[in-house]
Amino acid sequence: MLKVYVISGCCGSGKTTLTKELVKILPKTALVEGDALEKFLYHYPVWEERLKLVWQNILLVTDNYLRNGFNVILDYIVEDEFPQVISAIKKYDVELRYIVLTADEDTIKQRLIHRGDDWLVERGLFLLQQLTNCEHNRPYIYDGTQSTLEEQVNAVKNFKTYVY
């Protein structure tokens, strides 16, 4: 059975670090990075249109990999788009794992400043609150503040808590 791992979380939560480690160790797995697909838009439309285009591309690429027998790791902030993800993959026999990666506010700030994304701190903290306060996300939240990368990988791979 194929697996789709949807790794969401605010800016600075560690999504990309986690997904890049997962793709190294999971067999026949493709990494779909929403941020990378967003970079194809050289002439940025308004935010809503840009987000719509990025999600269409994420789902098309995911579909292509699944159709060709690949597991998929999806790395992007998931707000209201989760039903679209479910709809796009329901024709396949897949196990869906959903993780909303979080960290405490100080850790988010430190990570964003350390990587030179000071301008994202306010957005990251806003998304942290939005994602953790969303009723739908609560069962799938993983606070990685005190966890090693190895512990996070183990949780994603093995904890049934994250099977949707």
| pLDDT at 28 (0 to 100) | 97
**pLDDT tens-digit map of 128-161:** 999 999 999 999 999 999 999 999 999 999 999 8
Q: Would you say 12 and 117 are in contact if contact means Cβ atoms under 8 Å apart?
A: yes
Once rounded to an integer, what is the mean pLDDT over residues 59-67? 97
Q: If pLDDT is split at 50, 70 and 90, which confidence band does 56 have?
A: very high
Residue 44 has pLDDT above 90, yes or no: no
What is the rounded CA–CA span in Å between residue 163 and residue 45?
Answer: 35
Full-model pTM: 0.93
- Pairwise CA distance, residues 111 & 116, whole Å: 9
pLDDT at 25 over 90: yes
Q: Tens of pLDDT along 65-109?
A: 999 999 999 999 999 999 999 999 999 999 999 999 999 999 999
What domains can you pick out in the chain, each with its CATH number? 2-162 (3.40.50.300)
Contact at 8 Å (CB) between 38 and 54? yes
